[in-house]
Amino acid sequence: MAPQRFARYWLPVLAYVALIFILSSMSHLRSPLRFANADKVIHMCEYGILGLLLVRALRTLPASGGLLAAGALAIAIGMGVGAADETYQRGVPGRDSSPLDWVADTLGLSLAQTGYAWAKRPKRAPVAPGPLSGPA
C-alpha cells in the first residue's frame, strides 16, 4: 500500500482508535450531556464515526468485496474494538464497563454503515415524462 493511501485512509482509523482508548483511560470521565442514558448516545456517535472511518479505509483495499462486504467488515472490526474497549475499562478506576455500552457501540456502527451505503447508492437517471404523464 502506498504511504499516501495509508496516511489518508488508515492513519485516521488508527488515530481515532487511539483516541477512544485514551478517553477510556481517564478516570471518572463524565458525559457532557445531562440526561438519562446520555452515555449511550455518546457511544453511538463515537462508534458511528469509527464505522465511517473504517468503511472508508476498507473500500480502498482490492479484496474489500464491495460496499456491503466492506460495511459488514467495518461493523465486525468496530464491534471488536468496542469489546476490547469495554474490557479495558474494567481495569480503569472510576470507569464503568457495561454490555449495554457495547450494544450502543454496535448500533452506532450499524447506523453509520446504513447511512454510508445510502449516500453511496447508485443514482437513478431521471425519468422523462411520457405520453401518459398528463398535460404539459
DSSP 8-class letter at 122: P
C-alpha count within 13 angstroms, C-beta hemisphere, residue 85? 29
- Residue 6 to residue 10: CA distance in whole angstroms: 5
Residue that has been written with the C-alpha cell 485516521 in this structure: 12
Cell of 7: 496516511
Contact present, 96 and 28 (Cβ < 8 Å): no
pLDDT digit string (tens) for the chain, length 136 residues: 688 988 999 999 999 999 999 999 999 877 788 888 889 999 999 999 999 999 999 999 988 788 999 999 999 999 999 999 999 999 999 888 899 999 999 999 999 999 999 998 888 877 777 666 555 5
Contact present, 31 and 42 (Cβ < 8 Å): yes
The reported pTM is: 0.85
Contact present, 112 and 49 (Cβ < 8 Å): yes
25-46: b (≥16 Cβ within 10 Å) or e? eeeeeeeeeeeeeebbebbbeb
